[in-house]
Structure 1
Amino acid sequence: MSGFSLDGSVAIRAAARHSERVTALVLTATFPYRDNRLALASSVWRKIAASGDRETLAEFLLMMALGTQVLESMSSEQLQETLGFAAAAAADGSPEQVNLVGQVDVRDDLAGIKVPTLVISTTDDWVASTALHRRLAETIPGARLAEIAGGHLPMLERTDEWLQLITDFLGKH
Structure 2
Amino acid sequence: MTDLLPPVSSALLGTGRTEYLSAGTGTGLALAHGAGGDVELNFGPLIRRLAGSRRLVGTRYPGTGASDPAGDLDVFALADSLVAALVREGHERFPVVGSSFGSAVALAAALRHPERVTGLVLTVGFSEPDAQLRTVAAVWEALAAAEDPAVLGAYLISMLTHPRLLAELGAEEHGAQAAAVGAGLPVGGLLQITAATRVDLTGRLGEIAVPTLVVVAGADRVVLPATTRLLGERIAGAEVVEYPGAGHAFTEDEGRLWALDVERFLDGHGI
TM-score (norm 2): 0.60
Q: CA deviation at 1:105?
A: 1.4
Match of 1:36 among 120, 131, 137: 131
1:124 match: secondary structure: coil
Larger deviation, residues 4-13 vs 81-90: 81-90
Larger deviation, residues 62-71 vs 163-172: 62-71
Are 2:260 and 1:158 equivalent residues in the alignment? Answer: no
C-alpha separation in 1, matches of 2:184 and 2:156: 12
Long gaps (5+) in structure 2: 1-95
What are the equivalent positions in structure 2 for 1:129-144 lying under 5 Å apart? 129-144=224-239
* Cα 1:155/1:31, change in 2 over 3 Å: farther
Larger deviation, residues 40-49 vs 26-35: 40-49
The equivalent residue for 1:171 is 267
What is the count of residue pairs matched by the alignment? 173
What are the equivalent positions in structure 2 for 1:92-103 lying under 5 Å apart? 92-103=187-198
The equivalent residue for 2:174 is 79
Are 2:114 and 1:19 equivalent residues in the alignment? Answer: yes
The equivalent residue for 2:203 is 108
Whether the 8 Å contact between 1:55 and 1:83 is mirrored in structure 2 is yes
One-letter amino acid of the structure 2 residue matched with residue 115 of structure 1 = V
One-letter amino acid of the structure 1 residue matched with residue 257 of structure 2 = E
Whether the 8 Å contact between 1:150 and 1:157 is mirrored in structure 2 is no
The equivalent residue for 1:62 is 157
2:118 match: secondary structure: coil
One-letter amino acid of the structure 1 residue matched with residue 141 of structure 2 = R
Q: CA deviation at 1:109?
A: 2.3
C-alpha separation in 2, matches of 1:77 and 1:158: 26
1:92 match: secondary structure: coil
Q: CA deviation at 1:156?
A: 4.6
The equivalent residue for 2:64 is none
Whether the 8 Å contact between 2:152 and 2:178 is mirrored in structure 1 is no
One-letter amino acid of the structure 1 residue matched with residue 213 of structure 2 = L
C-alpha separation in 2, matches of 1:157 and 1:65: 15
Deviations 1:44-102 (A, max 9, x none): 11111233321111011111111212222334444333223212212222331222122
1:145 match: secondary structure: strand
One-letter amino acid of the structure 2 residue matched with residue 151 of structure 1 = G
Bigger relative contact order, structure 1 or 2 (CA pairs below 8 A, ≥6 apart): 1
CA RMSD of aligned residues (A): 1.7
C-alpha separation in 1, matches of 2:253 and 2:146: 29
C-alpha separation in 2, matches of 1:139 and 1:35: 16
* Structure of larger gyration radius: 2
C-alpha separation in 2, matches of 1:73 and 1:104: 35
